[in-house]
Amino acid sequence: MKKSLLLMMLVFCGCVAAWAQENVNFHLVLDDASRLKVAETYYDSSAGVAVENILDVTDGDNTLSIQNYHTIQITAKDGFFLKECVRESTGSNYYISNKQSTQIFVETGIEGDTFTITTCPESESRTASVTVNIDRPDDINMTRYMINGFISFTEPSTVVLYDPTDELPLTFSTKNYQQKIYKVTVSEGTVEESYGQWRVTPEDGAVIDVQVAFPDKDVTYTLISESGNFDFLRVRAGIPYEDIDISSGSYTLKAGTPIEYNFDTSNYKIDEFLIDGVPCQSLYSYSFTASDDATHSFKAHPFATFDARVHVTPADKARVLKGGLYGDPAECVDGVYTVRLKEPYDVQLTVAPVTDYYISDVRVEPEPDSEISFNKSSFYYSCTGDCDIYVELGEVVYDKKTALYVDNSDLLDYINSSSAFDNSIVFPEPATGYTVYDVSLAKSPAIINGYITGVGPVSRVYLNHTRIEKASEWSTTYTVDYQGDDVVHIYIENDPETASLSFDIDEGLEVEAVHNKVVTVTDPAAVLELFKGDEVAVKVNAGDDNYELTVNDDAVEPDDAGSHVFNLADGANVVKIIRHTLLRDIVADGDDSNAPVYNLQGIRVDAANLPAGVYIRNGKKFRVR
């Protein structure tokens, strides 16, 4: 068997390798091949290097035959841009990075497809211009949005071309990142400064003035807080940074001084930050360089603190923590855990039962807008304000039975059945046939994962005679949601043969029946659909009367415990229980051992030659073994 499996694996791997090395044929249509570099790229794992093979392509239709899983890299040469890379079968336009490159991943799905590449010169794309005036051109770089590479200036006045569709904004920065730009203005358009970079979105034909040198002057910043205090703000300035006193509501520095604002976002929510009435999006920290007098206005409010009171029943059977499972534990006073919380992030608490207890119910007052969810082993909750949380715990009690049937456990290489509650083992060391386990419904369901020696994972699992499907096609686990008095069948060698069980019971008899050691027959009038080999135990209470029990017309005698135990045959199994009334008119004087003997049908029999069975003498039953 192992040699056959090994051979199959080798053949499979060979097929996969051959499939991966197949060439894929497709078309590449180019408007002007001289504007492009087209290369086949891949990683050579044997040599440990990336490989690039330049392809010889021409204008028009190029038929390519490229190895599966390689990549076609298409790059515009200097002075040209890529406009489109359109796949004919889908009409989709492939992503073009920085207007200069795109790639086609080669796989069998593009067999026979066509990719059309359209290019254009920079002059046809960059139809807008701007004049840039700089006092120190050698200190400045400029970049166009989406395009790699800097534009370096050598003249104090330069005309720059750009594509108004996808090359805005224009970004100005210093070549030396420690140096700052004093001011950038535009005759028509907008300017935004952040962390030493200036982003300009000009109108076509506008003039951008860039002043690098800072003037020798003092700059004053006026601070306005809606709350009247600045507890939420820390200001540092200079090289190195030093704290600035802002208690007066303003501060003054030399132009060109670096400044840093740090907001206390642990204790405050910054609702608004305005610079000369214009909103600034930096609500966590803000760095800039002193340039001109300005007013900085703030709206901020302190985060609220509140209490969550957790009522646990029983109180000593759980831990209540601030945060997650590794958070700070809360103390219990008079059965209540009080957790002090603070918005916006420090609002979560956790309830974790101790060993052998589980969460059975959770209630929150005031009732939250969304539905409360919890599992048996933990409850996580994010509070929005003062609240009372009521958590009911249940004890893990092993008060139910579940039977596990395995048709041949010797063929099992490995089997695990763990509780979804706490990963404890549910069915330890299963044996062939029926094994009964004590279970707790608090730990249901069980996750079964088993492997058969030399074959693979277990593939036939049944719960109460209904087949269970795996979680997914690729999974090897089965979820068994047992409810007590269940039976789990695992068939390894063969599929189970079906069998039915029905009862034909004389009136006046009380019958108790259990199949597979744990499952009670609640309705003897129903026909049960079971498996061949299932075990059935029947107890009969006939009062003072006698009875006879047969299965498919074969008599089944009771065992020492008074149970008639039998296994189902395939097909229909009929249990018939016939009642026999005792002969009360037979009277004998005294307790005469020589009195006549009758069988249960009232027929006198030879007392000297009695086969095993139940008989009547002197109006009393006796058994011959």
| Integer CA distances (angstroms), 7 to 2, 10, 12, 428, 604, in order | 9, 5, 9, 35, 76
Q: What is the model's pLDDT at position 227?
A: 92
Q: What is the 3-state secondary structure (H, E, C) of 192-237?
A: EEECCEEEEEECCCCEEEEECCCCCCEEEEEEEECCCCCCCEEEEE
Torsion of CA 46, 47, 52, 55, to 10 degrees: -60
Q: What is the model's pLDDT at position 360?
A: 94
Q: What is the model's pLDDT at position 7?
A: 39
Count of beta carbons in the 10 Å neighbourhood of residue 530: 22
Structure tokens belonging to residue 38: 């087209």
DSSP 474-501: T--EEEE---SSEEEEE-SSSPPPEEEE
Residue 592 banded pLDDT, cuts 50, 70, 90: low
Same domain, 413 and 389: no
Selected residue with higher pLDDT from 22 and 620: 22
Count of beta carbons in the 10 Å neighbourhood of residue 512: 13
Same domain, 28 and 107: yes
Q: pLDDT tens digit string along 372-417?
A: 989 899 999 999 999 999 999 999 999 999 999 999 999 999 899 9
Q: Does 565 score more than 70 pLDDT?
A: yes
Task: Average the pLDDT over each of 204-213, 403-412, 527-536, 597-606 and give the range with the smallest value.
Answer: 597-606
Same domain, 119 and 130: no
Q: pLDDT tens digit string along 493-535?
A: 889 999 999 999 998 889 999 999 999 999 999 999 999 999 9
DSSP 432-453: SEEEEEEE-GGGPPEEEEEEET
Same domain, 292 and 332: no
The domain tally of the chain equals: 7
pTM exceeds 0.85, yes or no: no
Q: What is the model's pLDDT at position 601?
A: 65
Same domain, 113 and 190: no
User: CA-to-CA distance for 21 and 70, rounded, in angstroms?
Assistant: 10
Q: Does 14 score more than 50 pLDDT?
A: no
Same domain, 77 and 135: no
Selected residue with higher pLDDT from 598 and 439: 439
DSSP 78-139: TTEEEEEEEETTT-PBPP-BTTTEEEEE--GGGTT-EEEEEEEEHHHH--EEEEEEESSGGG
Q: What is the model's pLDDT at position 625?
A: 63
Same domain, 311 and 382: yes
Count of beta carbons in the 10 Å neighbourhood of residue 156: 12
Percentage of the chain surpassing pLDDT 70?
94
Q: What is the model's pLDDT at position 613?
A: 78
Residue 583 banded pLDDT, cuts 50, 70, 90: very low
The gap between the terminal CA atoms of the chain, to the nearest Å, is 53
Nearest to 310 by CA among 360, 363, 377: 363
Does 9 fall in a domain? no
CB under 8 Å to 31, separation ≥6 — which residues? 59, 117, 118, 119
- The last residue of one of the domains, among 346, 376, 395, is 395
Does 445 fall in a domain? yes
- The last residue of one of the domains, among 437, 469, 490, is 490
Same domain, 328 and 376: yes
Q: What is the model's pLDDT at position 146?
A: 84
Mean pLDDT of 26-48: 95
Answer yes or no: are the C-beta atoms of 509 and 577 closer than 8 Å. Answer: yes
Q: Does 330 score more than 70 pLDDT?
A: yes
Count of beta carbons in the 10 Å neighbourhood of residue 431: 10
Same domain, 115 and 135: no
Does 3 fall in a domain? no
Does 114 fall in a domain? yes
Same domain, 613 and 544: no
Q: What is the model's pLDDT at position 429?
A: 86
Residue 1 banded pLDDT, cuts 50, 70, 90: very low
Does 296 fall in a domain? yes
Does 323 fall in a domain? yes
Structure tokens belonging to residue 56: 């010889």
Q: pLDDT tens digit string along 73-99?
A: 999 999 999 999 999 999 999 999 989
Q: Does 15 score more than 80 pLDDT?
A: no
User: CA-to-CA distance for 232 and 300, rounded, in angstroms?
Assistant: 8
Same domain, 450 and 533: no
Mean pLDDT of 485-495: 93
Q: What is the model's pLDDT at position 585?
A: 42
The mean predicted confidence, pLDDT, of the chain is 90
Residues in the chain, overall count: 625
Q: Does 369 score more than 70 pLDDT?
A: yes
Q: What is the 3-state secondary structure (H, E, C) of 574-597?
A: EEEEEEECCCCCCCCCCCCCCCCE
Domain with 77, as residue range(s), is 22-123
Q: pLDDT tens digit string along 271-314?
A: 999 999 999 988 999 988 899 999 999 999 999 999 999 999 99
Does 12 fall in a domain? no
Structure tokens belonging to residue 588: 């004998």
Same domain, 166 and 235: no
Does 10 fall in a domain? no
- The last residue of one of the domains, among 302, 336, 366, is 302
Q: What is the model's pLDDT at position 496?
A: 95
Q: Does 537 score more than 50 pLDDT?
A: yes
User: CA-to-CA distance for 416 and 426, rounded, in angstroms?
Assistant: 9
**CA 499 from centroid of its chain's CA atoms:** 41
